[in-house]
């Protein structure tokens, strides 16, 4: 992908997803990703966020600055009711507490949209993501109510052979994607699990979830090392 093509695609993506007012502040630079994972086009936005395009074509927006609030035709209460029906149908214990958080951006094959994310686990109230043994979560498109993904997290089971990225490298990749210092990593909250995405791929992917002390969670593909999502908790 040439520099001109990368810049054009970034501009088209920004206009399509965020509308007017979000623009590139710098031209794209071709940078090496950590851990020998190849090169990516990276540019800075005028609001301080970063936008990247991998040579594979996957595009991401990274940063804490929120995009304009999307239209939410599917309310929080509707999403919660649908989530509770889903967890019941899948046998998730009722005593598991749930935590919700709107997701700011999600990258990969899908464009960023307004979303409702719910997770349940054994853990006490407060900021938690994942569980040393298991947790269950779902992500909904807040415009349509479509279930975007259903996730099961594990960390005590044998490591699947598709996992090519070890945990230290996953943490380094997550910190690079979130532009965060290593001191923000909540080591006890890191989970290796699987995410099922109801998109055209219909694939179950091994993922790392790396929670940060600033209430963000970074999801790293455990096979390829790509950043799948950065979530901002309330």
C-alpha closest to that of 107 among 23, 195, 19, 2: 195
For residue 68, pLDDT over 70 is answered with no
Average pLDDT of the chain is 67
**Residue 199 pLDDT > 70:** no
Bridge-partner residues for 119, per DSSP?
99, 137
pLDDT of 155 > 60? The answer is no
Cα 98 to Cα 49, 114, 128: the distances in Å are 30, 20, 10
Which residue has better confidence, 53 or 70?
A: 53
pLDDT of residue 7: 84
Per-residue confidence at 131, pLDDT binned at 50, 70, 90?
A: very low
Please report, for residues 12, 132, 205, 222, the alpha-carbon distance to residue 193 in angstroms, rounded to integers and kept in the order given.
34, 11, 8, 9
Q: Quick one: pLDDT at residue 173? A: 92
pTM summary value: 0.45
Q: Count other C-beta atoms under 10 Å from residue 91's C-beta.
A: 7
105-118 pLDDT per residue, tens: 443 334 445 666 66
* Section 194-214 average pLDDT: 65
- DSSP, collapsed to helix, strand or coil, labels residue 95 as coil
Between 49 and 106, name the one with better pLDDT: 49
Q: How confident is the model at residue 133 (pLDDT cuts 50, 70, 90)?
A: very low
Query: pLDDT at residue 48 above 50?
Result: yes
């Amino acid at each position: 992908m040439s520099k001109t093509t990368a810049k054009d695609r970034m501009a088209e993506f920004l206009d399509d997803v965020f509308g007017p007012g979000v623009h590139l502040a710098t031209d794209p630079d071709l940078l090496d990703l950590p851990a020998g994972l190849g090169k990516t086009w990276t540019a800075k936005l005028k609001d301080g966020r970063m936008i990247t395009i991998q040579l594979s074509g996957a595009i991401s927006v990274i940063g804490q600055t929120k995009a304009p609030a999307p239209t939410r035709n599917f309310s929080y209460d509707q999403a919660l009711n649908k989530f509770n029906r889903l967890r019941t149908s899948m046998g998730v214990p009722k005593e598991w507490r749930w935590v919700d958080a709107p997701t700011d951006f999600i990258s990969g094959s899908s464009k960023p949209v307004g979303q409702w994310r719910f997770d349940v686990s054994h853990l006490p109230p407060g900021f938690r993501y994942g569980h040393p043994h298991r947790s269950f979560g779902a992500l909904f498109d807040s415009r349509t109510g479509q279930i975007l993904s259903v996730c099961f997290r594990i960390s005590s089971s044998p490591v699947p052979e598709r996992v090519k990225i070890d945990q230290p490298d996953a943490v380094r990749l997550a910190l690079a994607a979130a532009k965060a210092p290593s001191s923000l990593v909540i080591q006890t909250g890191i989970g290796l699990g699987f995410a099922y995405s109801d998109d055209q791929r219909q694939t179950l992917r091994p993922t790392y979830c790396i929670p940060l002390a600033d209430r963000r969670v970074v999801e790293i593909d455990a096979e390829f090392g790509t950043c799948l999502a950065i979530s901002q908790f309330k």
